[in-house]
Structure 1
Amino acid sequence: MDHDSDNIPHRGRELLDVLARLGGSARNTQIAQVMDVSEETVRRLVKALAQKNMVERVHGGTFLSRAQDTPMFSGALEQNAEEKTLIANKVSQMIEDGMVLFITVGSTTTHIAEQLRDLKNLTVVSNSLSVVASLADHNGTRAILAGGEVIRSERGSFGRAAEELACQYSYDAVICGADALSLSGGVLASNPREAELTRALRHNTRRMIVATDHTKFGERAANVSCRFDQITDLVTDIAPPETFTTALKDAGVTVHVAARRGDKKNKKTDVAAVS
């Protein structure tokens, strides 16, 4: 062990341990929640650890500098962070105390998990290390990790074991992200095992909620998670392009647009409905 490591205070070591348990990176708000300290305390600890080259900082988040595959997820957390927070707030308004949820891996769903901490007595099943760490033993929430093969860069577990456990539950809502939205394919994912898990879960839920920012419209990814007619709600930060609006309306999808503060264009107008 090097000299700098020996000089790390107890709280600093605790923060490093939290990051390791979260898969190597996390938003500072999430670290603060897990450690039960203020965000200011986390920022102070992170600054000290960064000076020792133990962690690296991104906007609103931190990752272990020695974990070579962490920047991918850390960058995703940082990208469009304001939009993802708006989307997360909107999704949280759709969830009620006591619901049973499945939440998939992803940077947007990590933001959503943070917002759901205000709710009580949820049952949350997830293959995301970050989601489970945020919600476990908080406000009476029961968090279950759908275990399988862990893919460190995605902070989640995948495969037959994860799918079998996830499919044992009946959900009020499945909340998933998207790597791309396609007029021909619907909701797309880059990871085939992520897409396979989402496809399996659509049979076990009353509501399928897709949460994604506007940059995913028209993007490309190889694997179909679900067609538009298999989802009930799409939550995004900007109204979809006209071609997508038409396709979503034809599929019976309720589109929720998360308004920025002062934005008066966020009133419910059916797409099947745009809210």
Structure 2
Amino acid sequence: MDTGLRLDALSALCGCNVETTAARSQLSPQDFINIVALKEFYKQEGHQQLEYPSVGTISLQEDQDLYSAPAALTEGPSEPPSNNPTIKINPEDFFHPQYNYDFTRIKDGDQSFLRGNELYVRPCGWNRAALRVLQKYDGGDGWLGTGTDAWPVSYHGHNMDGSLGVILTHTGSSADEPNFLDAAAALLVTEDTRGRGIYSTPDIKMAEKFSKTFKSKTDGKTYQVVLQNRINPKQRKQCQRAGLWLLYIPEGSSEVQTRAIVENSLRPYGLLLKQA
């Protein structure tokens, strides 16, 4: 996968101009998914812009019409707003080619895979550029493994937000559940009540439906892009709409608190691309 194509995909996802540098990357992969997820959440909340440390002000005005329906595969080039910042990344410290995997011609059929004792639906049909996330988090790399302490796999589609009309399922409180889950349950008043927070899915087909589509400046072809992550099983909540998980963000959370919820719950490890 060409470096230019990967940068085009990152630009399309975050709405900024992503360029290479020989110096240290301005953002880590975790920062990147923070921006992508927070942009969608703050759009949902009606904000006009996102302030992110080391980046500055990012406009939330582009693509707002896409939240009424999945992006059409025929849409044209996705140009970041001209007033949005340029983000410099060093491919050497941002990507991890050793773990790239081309699933484009793979069909799993009846085979099944587990991550964290939960079903892992592999992204067959997609090409994965691995992100450099090993030894970047406290507590080791068990979250990224295949054992019982691993986190389940989650896919983040660009257009997945509260406009899906997702209702949070309350399973009852217990001593080990955070208090905010009870607050989330209080939102269940009508059938169209939406969970407030960040959405992702274990289903690559659902993520594809809500993926970001862009035309590459590098080769002129049109692609879909999705982020492959691991999600903290203690933080997510299943939704009544099958195949969706929610990271609930309580009302009144500050920007720092909101960002901390994402950082503690969603960790990226792959950039998935597929020609549309």
Which category of TM-score, normalised to the shorter sequence, fits these structures? under 0.3
Instruction: Give the number of the structure whose alpha-carbon radius of gyration is greater.
Output: 1
Structure with the bigger RCO (C-alpha within 8 Å, sep 6+) is 2
TM-score, normalising length: structure 1? 0.23
Larger helix proportion, structure 1 or 2? 1
TM-score, normalising length: structure 2? 0.23
